[in-house]
Structure formats: C-alpha cells, structure tokens
Amino acid sequence: MPLIEGQMQIRDLVMGQSTPYLVMQGTNPWTRSARVDSTGARPWAHGSWSGAEWLTEVVVPITVLVQSGSAGEWLTRQQTMQAAFRPIGDSVADVELRWMLGGTEYVMFGRPRMVEPDVVNMRGETVIRAAFVALDPFIYAGAETVVDDIALPTYSGGLSVPFTVPFTIAGTITDGYTDITNNGTADTGLLLRIDGPVESPSVWLIHDDGTVQRLDFNITLGADQWLDIDTKERVVLLNGTVSRRGQTAGDWPMLPTGTHRLRWNAAIYNPDARLTVRYRSAWW
C-alpha cells in the first residue's frame, strides 16, 4: 500500500501516522558531509583542502515512540521493529527506507544498523532509537519513471540512414526518442534495456543546453537477446548475466535536473528493436 503523509517504511514495517510506531524528533535523512580524497594541508599554497570532494555515506537516525497497552504488546511490537531492522545476511541487495513528505514519496537505499529500545518502561509509551546507513547518499523519488516500447527512428521524405549528432535531416523523425525529466536537484543514472534484433545500437542524451552524451555499443543482438545498461554504475550485461562493457565507447549519460531528450539509433533499421528507459529523480 502507498504511504500516507508523515509515514516512514523499512521492509514491511510502516511507522508514523495511523500506526503504533510514531516517528519522533531526531529522525533525520537530510544530514550530509563531504568525503575529501586529499589529506593534510596544501603544501604549495595557503589554506587546507585541495582536490576532489564527494558525499560520504549517510547515517540516518530514526527515533520511534512505540505505543502499547501491556508488556506483552510492547514486546511484540519491539520484536517486529527488531526484525525490520535486521542485518541483510548474505544478500547483496540494499534495503529501502521510504517516507512520504509534502505529498511526495522518497526512498534511500542502504543497510539497517541499530535498534536500541528503552526498556525502563515496557508498557504505555516507550522510545526506540534505530539507525539506517545509506551507502548511496542520494535521496530518490519513491516511484521509478518508466518509458518503454521506444522503436528505432524512421524518417519521412525517403531518408532512412543512421544519424549522428549534430545532424541535419530534411524530413521528419518519428519514434527513436523520448523526453525525460529529473525533478530533483542532483544528476541521476539511467537504467536502459535494448531488445534485439538490433545491430550496433547507440544512445544519446541531448541536454537542454545542446550538449550531448553518446554511448555506442559494438554488438549485434538477436531477436531473443537484450542488453541491460546501468549508466551510473557503468555496467552492461548481455541477457542479464554476461558483461559487455568492453564493447562500449563514448560517454555514460547521467540525467541532470530538468527535461532532456533521449534518442537511440542503430546501424540498420529493424522495426522490432526496442528501447526501455527507467530512472528516479534524485536529490542531494
């Protein structure tokens, strides 16, 4: 079920409004700090730091007021919360921390790290402190944006050859592109899927300022083959398992804030080839 305003969720546990787990002051997913690659003072100039800086992982403190009418009820609810914040075990998948604020659902990806109940009073109202570590420090839209069934471009006026950027075409292009919008404040990666049959596909992200990021794939896909591309992690998988990153060239597109155009093409037109794009708006 979708969250309502003021609710927070980790695994199957929903906390906040209309639940016995009230999210309290001290819960804060917005604290950020920089990770500085350089160490020590600048030996050649005034001041201190120099070099690249990046966001570090984010520790999200969560304070919950658990409401109960008896020791047994408190114990059941505490055990439920303990289970929701359990370690991931041998799984490699991150856990989602979701919350609804201002009519928008957000999500962070990471690992539960701590549950610390106050056991002085095990009936009535008891405070439990917990923590969630987001190894990816960005906040994302709770729902993915998905655009699928994007066919290769066709051209009216008799022109039917691949194009490059910049390009000039006398006719009109149909298919082969979509406009995508990042409503956040930070660049976000794209998850692309190219379904064959297709020969030497290419993907362009044309920014609203006219700059272009183009990624080419030196590969031919059969009718039952596909590529999964993660432009943030720079991963390319054939049929979901075999790496094909070595058969790529160009720039890995990242979607900036605002609306931009995504195009694709191939060496030879095939009406059955398709592109699917998925992404989440991202915030610092």
Structure tokens at 73: 């009820």
Domain shared by 216 and 230, yes or no: yes
- Assign 276 a pLDDT band (cuts: 50, 70, 90): very high
Q: What is the pLDDT of residue 170?
A: 42
Question: Residues 6 or more apart from 36 whose CB is under 8 A from it?
Answer: 49, 51, 52, 53
- 279: domain CATH number is 2.60.120.860
Domain shared by 167 and 277, yes or no: yes
* 3 within a domain of the structure (yes/no): no
Domain shared by 172 and 261, yes or no: yes
* 1 within a domain of the structure (yes/no): no
* Domain end position, chosen among 106, 121, 141: 141
Domain shared by 117 and 179, yes or no: no
Domain shared by 170 and 133, yes or no: no
DSSP state of 236: E
Please check the confidence at residue 125 and state whether its pLDDT lies above 90.
Answer: no
- Assign 123 a pLDDT band (cuts: 50, 70, 90): low
- Assign 274 a pLDDT band (cuts: 50, 70, 90): very high
Least confident of 129-133, 149-153, 165-169, 249-253: 165-169
DSSP of 142-197: SS-EEEEEEEPPEESSS--S---SS---SS-EESSEEEEEE-SSB-EE-EEEEESS
Q: What is the pLDDT of residue 154?
A: 84
Q: What is the pLDDT of residue 174?
A: 61
Q: Best-predicted range by mean pLDDT among 23-32, 68-77, 111-120?
A: 23-32
Rounded CA gap, 203 and 189, in Å? 14
Q: What is the pLDDT of residue 69?
A: 84
State the average pLDDT for the chain: 89
Across the range 271-282, mean pLDDT stands at 96
* 2 within a domain of the structure (yes/no): no
Please check the confidence at residue 132 and state whether its pLDDT lies above 90.
Answer: yes
Domain shared by 26 and 120, yes or no: yes
Domain shared by 64 and 192, yes or no: no
Q: Which residues pair with 23 in a beta bridge?
A: 64
* 68 within a domain of the structure (yes/no): yes
Please check the confidence at residue 157 and state whether its pLDDT lies above 80.
Answer: no
Structure tokens at 53: 């800086």
Domain shared by 116 and 15, yes or no: yes
* 264 within a domain of the structure (yes/no): yes
Domain shared by 131 and 171, yes or no: no
Q: What SS3 state is found at 134?
A: strand
Across the range 98-126, mean pLDDT stands at 87
- 102: domain CATH number is 2.40.30.200
Into how many domains does the chain fold?
A: 2
pLDDT in tens, 228-252: 999 999 999 999 998 898 899 999 9
Q: What is the pLDDT of residue 166?
A: 44
Residues above pLDDT 90, as percent of the chain: 69
Q: What is the pLDDT of residue 88?
A: 92
* Domain end position, chosen among 106, 141, 176: 141
DSSP of 13-66: EEESTTSSEEE-TT--S----EEES--S--TTSSSS--S-EEE--EEEEEEEEE
Q: What is the pLDDT of residue 155?
A: 67
Q: What is the pTM of this model?
A: 0.86
**Could you tell me the residue range of the domain that residue 264 belongs to?**
145-283
Domain shared by 60 and 174, yes or no: no
Q: Best-predicted range by mean pLDDT among 64-73, 99-108, 170-179?
A: 99-108
Q: What is the pLDDT of residue 209?
A: 93
**Structural contact between residues 180 and 259, judged by C-beta atoms closer than 8 angstroms:** yes
Domain shared by 158 and 276, yes or no: yes
Higher pLDDT, 109 or 37: 109
* Domain end position, chosen among 108, 141, 174: 141
Rounded CA gap, 255 and 213, in Å? 10
Domain shared by 76 and 180, yes or no: no
pLDDT in tens, 252-263: 999 999 999 999
